[in-house]
Amino acid sequence: MSRSWVRQYVRWLTAGIHRLFLQALYLRRRRLTYTADSRLGALDDTRIRLLRPLKHRYYSLGVLEFVLEEVDINNLPTYVTLSYTWNPAEPDEKEKNEPSDLKPILVNSHRFDIYPNLFDALCQLEKHGQDGYIWIDAICINQKDDTECSSQVALMDTIYKTSSKTIVWLGRETAYTARAARVLAACEESAKQATIQLLDAGTWNEPIDATDPAALDKYGVPRLCEKDWAALADVFGRRYFSRAWMVQEVALSCEIEVLCGSVTFNWDSIGIFAIFLTITHYLISMASQNLNTGLRLMCKGAHGANSLHLTRQWCTGKDVDLVRLVERYTWRGFKNKSQGLVLLRLLQMTPTVDVTDPRDRYFSKYGIMKHMVPDQHDTSYRPEYWLSEAEVLRRYCELLILETGELSILAWAGEGYSRKVEGLPSWVPYFDVRPNTMAGLADTAKKLALDASGVVGYQHREHIIDGPMLHVRAYEVGRIVACSETNTGMPKGIVYAETAALLFDHTAVIYPYTGQSRTEAFWRTAILDHDLISRPAPADLGKSFKAWFSWYLAVAIKGFVAQGGTLSAAATACHKLDLLAGAETPVSQFFPTWTEILSRLVYAGEVPPPDGSGMKRSKDVRAYAKEWWKEAQKFETIAIYSVLLRQALFTNHGHIALGPRGAVVGDSIWIVAGCPVALVLRRTSDDTGDQPYKLIGESYVHGIMNGEAVSEETEWKSIGLC
């Protein structure tokens, strides 16, 4: 061993010991206490805190040091804001931080512990040359003071609008990050033009096959390879795009710089590509495939980025073309009416956002509400962290009803969907619709002119809020006598044969409320009788419905046989399907017969041909299956938004309806005066007076969604919802 090597080793060891010694001294520093620091006090709505980095003697140890100062909201210096996730940013990391994950920095010469993602962001900003003032919520707000949190959250619109720019931190970079930035930059302009053309032409309901490498060619978007999609999944899969606070932070920022490690992205390229993937239904097509975890997370993240960018365009109005399309496509009729309506629309647009504190699902929208309706000085929606989540929800719901004089918010309520708040009345929405669910018909009602209570109902509307009870006037349409098995995923299984049997047993051949055949009424009900653009749905969707129904029933039968079932038993299960199809004019117009299903299965090579049937297997089963699915896909593109987590309902008066998964036989369907959709209610007592009911959820009832069921002679009944 040479002496020079020994000297080098000793120097390295000595430096390491010195480094550990200094770090130990540093870690023993007292933690920052806002109220104990003479430079800091409790904040009200006239002051904020800003952070300024320092170059210091601990820099070589990797210790970051800052000064935290208070400034007047009317005399702010130049500063930037940081938008980031408190929990780990990358999808392959654990979802939540642990106390052991905390990393120390120095603030006003005191130790201040922060979580790793923020620490990574501060380290990158130091390398990035960020040496001016910066606003960071976790440090600039005393998170242990509810009063201060409430006052500072109420200032969020001012904080983000007056900063010179917002730095969006997506987390550490990977080997894919730079490639993703290049792909998004290359696709931005063509994706934007394609989106504008689709919306202008009103053709955003066309199906697309995400498994086809050439699927995007017709839009002029560069063809992407497997590595490109993996890179995009790495970016869109970041947890940033699904957090509630990001909606406001992105929407209200003047300028945005996106950092993922050392790689810089253009926010517009991220946002417009997400809108493009959503409007073409590419994300839906991807989600229906057997995807790996990365691509599944990409679908969720891209959907979130779509909502972020739409909201940003609505708030800033910078891109004239996109603003025009945003107002046509999704924000129509909501601008500048009231803060409550703005809140309602934001909650409808972002039902899948994640929050640590459930109240932030609502408080995080307050800045946008103030921005969009600046002349409304009512502070009723102001965040108040001393209220429970149930109290917040009830207050907001009551305010919306009083503001609008309508009951459309009931379309988003009900115990038939997920509810996680104890003590919440059934008529108060929770707004926690999980991915791939479109639980509320309120949005469809606004876009496609549903109005079940009609002009007459509007004239008879009445709502009195008495504690947890909402008193309304309503008309009973019918009692539920049958309901199909609820689908928790895309309808698969013999459930479709069972639903056909219910349709045969509980409805007349000619549906009395529209004069259509019962089978046509059924497929129209399954898609709420619209094609995502207009109502009624075009007649050619009936042919696609038949292929769609046949596909999923065939998949079920294939699985049944694979598990040891026989074709004879399957045929028995489909007996009433045969009767239903045979009663159509022409025969089997919308529903397949058993023979048609069996023939398709044989031709696709899924089951052997029965003896003497004359059925044959296709020479190219893959091509046949692809063509079959292509025929079904037009209906699927629409049905996936309506059928999931809903079920078919049949009433004692022969109505066909689509309603919430929680509906059961014995529940009843009502029209409530002032509510645009029918509601499923459940009686809770035998009182003969103002009977209390539980709201289970909204319902589409074919043939009565435009006021057809009510008239001047309708006997409205006063009922209470609890």
What band does 345 get if pLDDT is binned at 50, 70 and 90? confident
CA 603 to chain centre: 39
| Residue entry with tokens 């007592």 | 685
pLDDT at 487: 45
Helix (H) or strand (E) holding 167: strand 165-169
pLDDT at 686: 53
pLDDT average, residue stretch 396-418: 86
Task: State percent of the chain over pLDDT 90.
Answer: 49
Lookup: tokens for 366: 């307050």
pLDDT at 11: 56
CB neighbours of 15 closer than 8 A, spacing ≥ 6?
none
Task: State percent of the chain over pLDDT 70.
Answer: 86
More confident residue, 341 or 576: 576
Lookup: tokens for 77: 């210096």
The answer, yes or no, to whether residue 320 has pLDDT greater than 90, is no
pLDDT at 562: 86
CB neighbours of 668 closer than 8 A, spacing ≥ 6?
476, 477, 478, 479, 480, 680, 681, 682, 683
Residue pair 525/656 in contact by the 8 Å Cβ criterion: yes
Pairs from 498-502 (Cβ < 8 Å, separation ≥ 24): 499/648, 500/574, 500/576, 500/577, 500/580, 500/591, 501/576, 501/577, 501/580, 502/648, 502/650
| Residue entry with tokens 């560069």 | 222
Question: pLDDT tens digit string along 446-462?
Answer: 445 688 888 766 677 78
Longest dimension (CA), the chain: 107
Residue type at 175?
A
pLDDT average, residue stretch 463-472: 90
Most confident of 156-160, 326-330, 617-621: 156-160
The answer, yes or no, to whether residue 290 has pLDDT greater than 80, is no
Question: pLDDT tens digit string along 157-208?
Answer: 999 999 999 999 999 999 999 999 999 999 999 999 999 888 777 777 788 8
Pairing relation of β-strands 263-265 and 256-260? antiparallel
Residue type at 437?
T
pLDDT at 497: 82
The answer, yes or no, to whether residue 144 has pLDDT greater than 70, is yes
Question: pLDDT tens digit string along 532-542?
Answer: 878 899 999 99
The answer, yes or no, to whether residue 75 has pLDDT greater than 90, is yes
pLDDT average, residue stretch 339-351: 83
Residues in the chain: 722
pLDDT average, residue stretch 320-345: 71
Residue 127: phi, psi to the nearest 5?
-65, -30
Question: pLDDT tens digit string along 566-575?
Answer: 899 889 889 9
pLDDT average, residue stretch 58-69: 75
pLDDT average, residue stretch 671-684: 93
Please tell me the chain's helix, strand, coil percentages from 3-state DSSP, rounded to the nearest 5.
Answer: 45, 15, 40
Lookup: tokens for 691: 């009977």
pLDDT at 324: 76
Task: Name the DSSP letter for residue 185.
Answer: H
Most confident of 93-107, 395-409, 476-490, 587-601: 587-601
Lookup: tokens for 110: 């005191």
Task: Name the DSSP letter for residue 222.
Answer: P
Lowest mean pLDDT among 69-83, 143-157, 281-295, 691-705: 281-295
The three-state secondary structure class of 567 is: helix
Task: Name the DSSP letter for residue 217.
Answer: G
pLDDT at 492: 42
pLDDT at 114: 94
Lowest mean pLDDT among 62-66, 440-444, 582-586: 440-444
pLDDT average, residue stretch 437-444: 36
pLDDT at 289: 75
pLDDT average, residue stretch 260-273: 96
pLDDT average, residue stretch 301-321: 88
pLDDT at 703: 96
The mean pLDDT of the chain is: 85
The answer, yes or no, to whether residue 44 has pLDDT greater than 60, is yes
CA–CA separation, 51 and 66 (whole Å): 6
pLDDT at 317: 80
The answer, yes or no, to whether residue 62 has pLDDT greater than 90, is no
What band does 564 get if pLDDT is binned at 50, 70 and 90? confident
Residue pair 268/217 in contact by the 8 Å Cβ criterion: no
| Residue entry with tokens 């509510």 | 675
Lowest mean pLDDT among 368-382, 480-494, 648-662: 480-494
Residue pair 349/368 in contact by the 8 Å Cβ criterion: no
| Residue entry with tokens 């209470």 | 720
The answer, yes or no, to whether residue 14 has pLDDT greater than 80, is no
Residue type at 418?
S
Say how many Å lie between the first and final Cα of the chain, rounded: 84
The stretches of 108-175 forming alpha helices (DSSP H) are: 116-127, 137-140, 146-153, 156-162
pLDDT at 115: 95
Q: Considering the entire predicted model, what is its pTM?
A: 0.86
Q: CA dist 713 to 457, 703, 705, 716, Å?
A: 11, 19, 18, 9
CA–CA separation, 69 and 79 (whole Å): 12
